[in-house]
Amino acid sequence: MFSTFLRNTRVPFVFYFITIAAMIIYCFYISHQSSQGLSTFNSRFNEPLEAPIIDEKMLEKVKFQEIEKEESLIRLNDMDTIRKANADPLPVISDFGTDWKQPNWTENICSGEDEIKCGAKLKSLETRLRASPKYKTVACIIQKNMSTILQAIMCYLFDEASFVKAGRIISRECHNNRFCVKKNEFNAVYAATRVLNVTRTEMADWKYVAIVRDPIDRFLSGFVDKCIRKPNDLEYYCNNCGSNMTCFILTEYERIMRSSNGNVLSRTFEDRHFFPQNWRCNFRTELKHYQLIEYSSHPEHTNKFLNDLLEAFKQQHVPDESQKFIKDQLTGGRTVHTTVASDARIFLEKRLLSSPFLMEYIIRMFYWDFRLLGFKLPTFKPIE
């Protein structure tokens, strides 16, 4: 059809030659670009972020996530209901006999004889490892510490080409639709050695990474996400406290203390998301081997977190184009789980931070997260 058009069009012969030559060059260019695969995808990644979705299941999940996001926004901004659920007067006397009038009172709890009133350190709750043999890297997943995103990143680093070819998007991965399910996922190092065909001695030289989070930020993120945005059980969710933060803090403290003093640890949905971080990743014996990367939900900390994470991957010789892919995907938007800018988060954060009563419970629950993972204990002005 194109040759007929040229024959029926009165143009100089040189135009034929130029046109055909241009088409040959263009076809060669397209062929070359297609062979580049990953780099081609990266160069056009931000045009726009959602364009590459080609997996049917992924597309359905994205549609579902958008519906979930709209429903979440309604719940997160229903401030009449949230205020009503948290209208209980907060006590002005410590349940533990702590004198809030003393300066630096937060520094004096959980020490000496008072230690038994605080969550234990380095219990063994669970370990969730995600491996990238190509880059000799293992990441330990801790709920509410950007776990879904880190899991997706490690899946990408397990097989970049397949991840991209399938049209997957890091910020759109979710637990129920994981691209790498059972491919690079392990609950212990010895299990990984068998599947990956490496020795424990070899794996000892790999980089071990864990994302950690300020305990207060993590608690607030978890409470707003699991007790307001999307409750797991609409009848008995959040320790049967609903969205009452005071009730939940007191009941979760009791659950942490029972697990601290027992041999069998509780593993309810809420416990998995709120129990101390230092109970994960087999930190009891492996903490010294991990590079801890601090994450905060506040946007002003995003650059430092990204730089630290990418530097860890760079040290393992992850290519520049793969690092760029990760950075582009993480800066392209937050997941459906994000709650940091919501009215609910702002209200509850203010309520928590202004109450010595609630904050003492938080410190006692997560005291060893503060001490072992490098976070400063909060300070309060002495109560007048």
**pLDDT tens across 300-339, in order?**
888 899 999 999 999 999 999 999 999 998 886 554 445 5
**pLDDT tens across 254-299, in order?**
999 999 998 888 888 899 999 999 999 999 999 999 999 999 988 7
Give the pLDDT of residue 337: 45
Mean pLDDT score across all residues of the chain: 84
pLDDT exceeds 60 at position 380: yes
Asked which of 112-121, 148-157, 191-200, 213-222 is least confident by mean pLDDT, the reply is 191-200
For strands 129-132 and 137-140, give the pairing. Answer: antiparallel
Is the dihedral angle over the CA atoms 23, 25, 26, 32 positive or is it negative? positive
Q: Give the integer Cα–Cα distance in Å for 84 and 87.
A: 5
Q: Is the pTM of this model over 0.85?
A: no
Per-residue confidence band for 124, with pLDDT thresholds at 50, 70 and 90: very high
Supply φ then ψ for residue 139, to 5 degrees: -115, 135
Per-residue confidence band for 175, with pLDDT thresholds at 50, 70 and 90: confident
pLDDT exceeds 90 at position 347: yes
| DSSP β-bridge partners for residue 131 | 138
Give the pLDDT of residue 85: 97
Q: Are 160 and 321 in contact (CB under 8 A)?
A: no
Q: Give every strand in the sheet of 129-132, ordered side by side.
A: 185-186, 129-132, 137-140, 207-213, 290-295
Q: Are 246 and 354 in contact (CB under 8 A)?
A: no
Give the pLDDT of residue 341: 72
Per-residue confidence band for 104, with pLDDT thresholds at 50, 70 and 90: confident
Supply φ then ψ for residue 126, to 5 degrees: -165, 160
pLDDT exceeds 90 at position 181: yes
pLDDT exceeds 60 at position 128: yes
* Residues 6+ away with beta carbon under 8 Å from 336: 65, 68, 69, 72
Task: State which amino acid sits at residue 272.
Answer: R
Q: Are 155 and 132 in contact (CB under 8 A)?
A: no
Place of tokens 């997160």: 76
pLDDT exceeds 80 at position 173: yes
Average pLDDT over residues 58-73: 70
Q: Which stretches within 13-103 are classed as H helix?
A: 13-36, 38-43, 56-76, 79-85
Q: Are 237 and 225 in contact (CB under 8 A)?
A: no
Q: Single out the residue of 35, 46, 36, 32 nearest to residue 325, CA to CA.
A: 46
Q: Which stretches within the chain are classed as H helix?
A: 2-7, 13-36, 38-43, 56-76, 79-85, 147-158, 160-165, 189-196, 200-204, 215-224, 237-240, 245-260, 269-274, 283-286, 302-315, 320-331, 343-353, 356-373
pLDDT exceeds 70 at position 133: yes
Q: Are 364 and 204 in contact (CB under 8 A)?
A: no
Q: Which long-range contacts (CB under 8 A, 24 or more apart) does 81-85 make?
A: 81/243, 82/228, 82/243, 82/343, 82/344, 82/347, 82/348, 83/347, 85/242, 85/243, 85/244
Q: Give the integer Cα–Cα distance in Å for 42 and 117.
A: 52
| DSSP β-bridge partners for residue 280 | 126
Q: Give the integer Cα–Cα distance in Å for 182 and 133.
A: 14
184 token code pair: 């690079």
Comparing 73 with 223, the larger pLDDT belongs to 223
Q: Give the integer Cα–Cα distance in Å for 106 and 357.
A: 11
